């Protein structure tokens, strides 16, 4: 077990204090990575949030010495997805779940690690109430030694504090989301657009929506683009962040 010295404890106590008291959520995450550099040896790091609810995907990254694009683009190739979306907070080294030789042959390693000159990583999965909330990944460059169990111990001390802050932030954000009906009224959606939005938020894919409404894929795409334009968004992830996906009782009007 890692023996923390007095200065380490001072840094950790300050980090925990900032986790709870930094009002700007994004600033808290940026400051966290910068402060952790004082007690944890890493070359790069990224901190992604969950897309929300049962919608897979990683969003809104903050980074340290990297752009954060690769993990987001190739999330579907990540061999640790099962752990990530398990709904449990956990800290682990990737070499604890897959051998170093095998992971170097994966597409994820080739597309994410190699271009950035990374080799070893430490993952911090953040969850609460069986809900995946976010993930922090610390990277070490090729040529450096692997992370130690002492490093896992260090992040174990912080993971529950971070999970609680993310959980609270998610609840506050959800309370500010619009229902489908509210969005339709506020942004002047047509009846058909409101229907399409309601079906998408109910979890239907494009094919299911087309079948239910008896419309073509091209017609559906036009409706979706109109919805995005009126809501001022560009993607479904942004739609999920703006609209309540629990608004299942919205009438599907023709």
Any domain includes 248? no
User: Looking at the structure, do residues 127 and 233 belong to the same domain, yes or no?
Assistant: no
Residues 156 and 206 reside in one and the same domain: no
Per-residue pLDDT, 249: 40
- 43 lies in which domain range? 6-175
- The three state secondary structure string of the chain is CCCCCHHHHHHHHHHHHHHHHCCCHHHHHHHHHHHHCCCCCCCEEEEEEECCCCCCCEEEEEEECCCCHHHHHCHHHCCCHHHHCCCCCEEEEHHHCCCHHHHCCCHHHHHHHHHHCEEEEEEEEEEECCEEEEEEEEEEECCCCCCCHHHHHHHHHHHHHHHHHHHHHHHHHHHCCECHHHHHHHCCCCHHHHHHHHHHHCCCCHHHHHHHHCCCHHHHHHHHHHHHHHHCCCCHHHHHHHECCCCCCCCCCC
**Pair (91, 167) in one structural domain:** yes
- Write the pLDDT tens digit of every residue in 200-244: 988 889 999 999 999 999 999 999 999 998 888 888 878 887 887
Domain count, the chain: 2
Q: Is residue 251 part of a domain?
A: no
* Structure tokens belonging to residue 100: 């170093």
Q: What is the CATH number of the domain that holds 29?
A: 3.30.450.40
In this structure, of 5-9, 14-18, 137-141, 219-223, the range with the lowest mean pLDDT score is 5-9
CA–CA gap between residue 167 and residue 175 (Å, rounded): 12
Decide: residue 98, CB within 10 A, 0-12 exposed, 13-18 middle, 19+ buried. Answer: middle
- The pLDDT of residue 92 is 95
217 and 93 housed in the same domain: no
For residues 150-154, give the mean pLDDT: 94
The answer to whether residues 196 and 91 belong to one domain is no
Same domain, 212 and 158: no
Please name every residue paired with 46 in a beta bridge, in sequence order, or none if there are none. 63, 137
Domain boundary among 175, 191, 220: 175
Query: Do 122 and 230 fall into the same domain?
Result: no
149 and 91, same structural domain?
yes
Write the CATH number for 213.
1.10.10.10
What number is the average pLDDT over the span 95-123? 93
Q: Residues 128, 190: one domain?
A: no
Q: Contact, 170 vs 209, CB < 8 A?
A: no
Q: Does one domain contain both 62 and 115?
A: yes
Q: Of 154, 175, 196, which one is at a domain's C-terminal end?
A: 175
pLDDT at 160: 96
Is 252 inside any structural domain?
A: no
Residue 253 lies in a domain: no
Handedness of CA 146, 152, 154, 155 (dihedral sign): positive
In this structure, the answer to whether residues 136 and 41 fall within a common structural domain is yes
Is the separation of the CB atoms in 80 and 123 below 8 Å?
yes
Overall pTM > 0.75: no
- pLDDT value for 254: 39
Instruction: Report residue 104 as tokens.
Output: 């170097």
Within a domain: residue 249?
Answer: no
Q: Do residues 61 and 123 share a domain?
A: yes
Last residue of one domain, picked from the residues 175, 202, 227: 175
């Amino acid at each position: 077990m890692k023996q923390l010295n007095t200065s380490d404890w001072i840094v950790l106590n300050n980090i925990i204090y900032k986790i709870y008291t930094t009002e700007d959520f994004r600033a808290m995450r940026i400051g966290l990575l910068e402060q952790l550099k004082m007690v944890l040896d890493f070359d790069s790091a990224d901190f992604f949030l969950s897309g929300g609810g049962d919608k897979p995907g990683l969003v809104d990254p903050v980074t340290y010495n990297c752009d954060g694009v690769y993990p987001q683009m190739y999330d579907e190739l990540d061999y640790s997805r099962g752990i990530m979306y398990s709904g449990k907070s956990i800290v682990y080294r990737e070499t604890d779940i897959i051998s170093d030789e095998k992971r170097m042959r994966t597409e994820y390693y080739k597309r994410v690690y190699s271009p950035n000159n990374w080799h070893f990583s430490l993952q911090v999965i953040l969850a609460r109430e069986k809900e995946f909330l976010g993930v922090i990944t610390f990277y070490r460059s090729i040529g450096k030694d692997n992370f130690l169990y002492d490093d896992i111990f260090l992040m174990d001390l912080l993971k529950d504090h971070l999970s609680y802050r993310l959980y609270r932030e998610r609840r506050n954000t959800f309370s500010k989301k619009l229902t489908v009906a509210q969005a339709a009224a506020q942004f002047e959606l047509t009846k058909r657009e409101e229907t399409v939005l309601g079906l998408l938020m109910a979890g239907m894919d494009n094919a299911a929506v087309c079948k239910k409404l008896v419309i073509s894929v091209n017609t559906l795409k036009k409706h979706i683009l109109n919805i995005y334009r009126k809501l001022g968004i560009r993607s479904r992830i942004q739609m999920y962040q703006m609209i309540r996906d629990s608004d299942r009782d919205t009438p599907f009007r023709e």
